[in-house]
Amino acid sequence: MTSSTSSLDEDPNACVAAGDSRLRRGGSLKFFYGPMDCGKSTLALQMDYNHARQGRRGLVLTTIDRAGPGRLSTRIGLGKEAVDVSADLDIRGLVRQRWQQGIRVDYLICDEASFYTVAQIEQLADLVDTSDVDVYAFGLATDFRTSLFPAAQRLFELADEVTRVQVEVLCWCGRPGLLNARVVNGGIAREGDQVVIGDTSSSDSADSADSSGQDLTEQDVRYQVLCRRHHRVGDLGPTARQEGQLRLV
């Protein structure tokens, strides 16, 4: 990972179009995290709007978005075209490519950043440090087992600022919902692959495969935000079986 900056350093065009960064103290890497439904994607789009209104130019990136590739969408109905971050995408290369096309990139809005690779988080830090691009990353901190996603861990380690998103999501008991539970066939899951897209609709089997392409259409997988107490004991609440609206991020 530490050798990953070399190609950028050798590229004489790498910093040509770094926007208005000379007027500032350099870029910064900020990570906003919280459970699903806490408004991360909405905040991401608001952030993009605010910067664009000040005349800055940015790129919006996302991965595994609920609306499919190439779009960042929110549960409350907002949306915007976005670059789909596949596991092999070099984000520095993407930004450099825009610069070579004469397109300014002053900042990046990175939604679903917990699902990026650790190498991509390093690329984001490189862009901040070597090219003064501001990076705003949004995502889950922990998976359904309450373990950090590797990319989220790297963001906690590297970010200039880390902020828990303030829009409060409530557990069924009324306490603040802090953790995502994976619910498989009506019960809380404690084991399994770290990334599994939840979709209770068996008619949409494309969304029901895990990251290794395994077919999960036989299982009913969904996600539910719980307080720590009820995540730890696995209590999904009295109406758990009637809920079907909560899905991954």
Residues in touch with Zn ion (CB under 5 A)? 171, 173, 175, 227, 230
The minimum distance between CB 232 and Zn ion, in angstroms, equals 10
CA distance 209 to 223: 15
CA distance 179 to 92: 32
Closer to Zn ion by Cβ: residue 177 or 198: 177
How is 60-96 classified by DSSP, letter by letter? Answer: EEESS-TT-TTEEE-TTS-EEE-EE--TT--HHHHHH
* Residue 28 to residue 16: CA distance in whole angstroms: 19
Give the C-alpha separation, 4 to 78, whole Å. Answer: 35
Say how many C-beta atoms besides its own lie within 10 A of residue 164's C-beta. Answer: 12
Nearer to Zn ion, 119 or 189 (CB): 189
Which residue, among 143, 159, 188, 140, has the nearest Cα to 33 in the 3D structure?
140
**In the complex, minimum distance from the CB of residue 192 to Zn ion, in angstroms, rounded to a whole number:** 22
The structure tokens 């991360």 sit at 40
Which CB sits closer to Zn ion, 110 or 178? Answer: 178
Q: Compute the least distance from the CB of residue 176 to Zn ion, in Å.
A: 9
- Residue among 80 and 175 whose Cβ is closer to Zn ion: 175
Task: Please confirm, yes or no, whether 191 is among the known catalytic residues.
Answer: no
CB of 146 to Zn ion, least distance (A): 14
Q: Out of 10, 81, 112, 218, pick the active-site residue.
A: 112
Nearest residue (CB) to Zn ion, 167 versus 173: 173
CB of 35 to Zn ion, least distance (A): 12
Q: Which of 49, 19, 18 is nearest to 136 (CA)?
A: 49
Q: Catalytic site residues?
A: 112
